Amino acid sequence: MKRILSGIRPTGGLQLGNYLGAIRNWVALQETFDDCLFCIVDLHALDTLADTSTLKNDTREMAAAYIACGIDSARFPIFVQSHVPAHTELAWILGCLTPLGWLNRMTQFKDKAGKNQENALLGLYAYPVLMAADILIYKATHVPVGEDQKQHVEFTRDLAGLFNRTFNVDFFHLPEPMIFGEAMRVMSLRDGTVKMSKSDASDYSRINLLDDADTIALKIRKARTDGDPLPDNLENLKDRPEARNLINIYAALSGETAAQICVQFAGSYFSTFKKDLSDLLIAVLEPIGAKMHQLLREKDELDAVLQRGAESANKLANQHMQEIRNIVGFL
């Protein structure tokens, strides 16, 4: 049995990196895996959200993006983490098994908590335990994530093994991380050395999934580049990160390799290349944006998709949760 589970935090402002680095990979995986669950991890959004007033909208926007990008909600549940209470119940049980030493090794906590760890929140510290519960409650076997989440999936494997040994059972599978490579890393349009991100102060650093065609064209025109023509090989792009990023984006969208794109545009100036790139981006993103807008207007239908998703996720999660309660020894 193979089962995929993945999730994204609904923190608003979906951008091209979320599509090329995450959601698009899931769309491809649903062709080869018969069993997939796609979660919108709203409980995980709380650890960094001081203000939850946009959470409802951001959650719907994420659901709309999953569907508009091609996740098949008729075949697989798209659901909201907080709609399935078993995630948090299992997280508590797993938390009672987790040595603090394991959590102290998590690099994401160190990065996000910064220097002032005394003021960091328990939710941020315990984040990997909840993520492990998200995965294990469905006995997922494969977890497609970005490179930065690999450590959390390895933590999940360790915790699954610890649970099995503690209770002397062979209950949890050890899930495999599926990491999509460096080529899927989309960098900022203003600085080719940092990731494209919704949290960058400049909107010109990113292409949002809801940007219209004119905005996309403008952002690509304004994207930072240099005055040299494009070379015919990737080796000569080593010290030109912004140029390399635009080539990578073009390659990811066209389905060709970055090397092929280089050959195709060798000797061209960016004015030419950017025009073709923005045409390609618009061809891919405009239908996604239009579909998202339509879904966001039809809130009842969108909510119905999430309700159906929650029903089937709850069914599987509750079945496993009952077995877990028995294993742990609750009355």
**Torsion angle defined by CA atoms of residues 303, 304, 310 and 312, in that order, rounded to the nearest 10 degrees:** -160
What's the CA gap between 66 and 76, in Å, rounded?
A: 11
Question: Could you tell me the two tokens for 201?
Answer: 């102060």
- Name which of 197, 142, 199, 135 is nearest 25 in CA terms: 142
Tell me, yes or no, if 139 is annotated catalytic. Answer: no
Partner touching 253 among ligand TRP, ligand AMP, none, CB below 5 to 8 Å by kind: none
- Name which of 292, 286, 278, 257 is nearest 71 in CA terms: 292
Shortest separation between residue 246's beta carbon and ligand AMP, angstroms: 14
What's the CA gap between 244 and 236, in Å, rounded?
A: 10
What's the CA gap between 22 and 266, in Å, rounded?
A: 30
Binding window for ligand AMP (CB under 6 A); candidates: 121-129, 130-138, 180-188, 221-229: 180-188
Partner touching 5 among ligand AMP, ligand TRP, none, CB below 5 to 8 Å by kind: ligand TRP
Tell me, yes or no, if 150 is annotated catalytic. Answer: no
Q: Does 64 engage in binding with ligand AMP (CB under 6 A)?
A: no
Shortest separation between residue 122's beta carbon and ligand AMP, angstroms: 20
C-beta of 93 vs 184, nearer to ligand AMP: 184
- Name which of 281, 277, 323 is nearest 163 in CA terms: 323
Q: Does 157 engage in binding with ligand AMP (CB under 6 A)?
A: no
Q: Does 185 engage in binding with ligand AMP (CB under 6 A)?
A: yes
Q: Does 9 engage in binding with ligand AMP (CB under 6 A)?
A: yes
C-beta of 33 vs 171, nearer to ligand AMP: 33
C-beta of 117 vs 199, nearer to ligand AMP: 199
- What does R_g of the chain's alpha carbons equal in angstroms? 21
Give the amino acid at 266. Answer: A
Concatenating the DSSP letter of every residue in 123-151 gives HHHHHHHHHHHHHHTTT-SEEEE-GGGHH
Tell me, yes or no, if 222 is annotated catalytic. Answer: no
Q: Which residues bind ligand TRP (CB under 6 A)?
A: 5-7, 9, 41, 44, 131, 134-135, 143, 145, 149, 152
What's the CA gap between 209 and 13, in Å, rounded?
A: 8
Shortest separation between residue 162's beta carbon and ligand AMP, angstroms: 26
What's the CA gap between 84 and 196, in Å, rounded?
A: 31
Sorted by sequence, the CB contacts under 8 Å of residue 307 that are 6+ apart come out as none
* Catalytic-labelled residue, pool 112, 150, 275, 291: 112
Q: Does 145 engage in binding with ligand AMP (CB under 6 A)?
A: yes
Taking CB under 6 A as the criterion, which residues in 15-44 touch ligand AMP? 17-18, 21-22
Partner touching 317 among ligand TRP, ligand AMP, none, CB below 5 to 8 Å by kind: none
Q: Does 192 engage in binding with ligand AMP (CB under 6 A)?
A: no
Question: Could you tell me the two tokens for 102?
Answer: 């394991």
Among 3, 4, 5, 8, binds ligand AMP (CB under 6 A): 8
Partner touching 309 among ligand TRP, ligand AMP, none, CB below 5 to 8 Å by kind: none
Shortest separation between residue 318's beta carbon and ligand AMP, angstroms: 27
211-240 residues labelled b (16+ CB within 10 A) or e (exposed): beeebbbebbeebbbeeeebbeebeebeeb
Among 142, 152, 173, 195, binds ligand AMP (CB under 6 A): 195
The residues that are catalytic are 112, 195, 198
Residues that bind ligand AMP (CB under 6 A): 8-9, 17-18, 21-22, 145-146, 184-186, 195-197
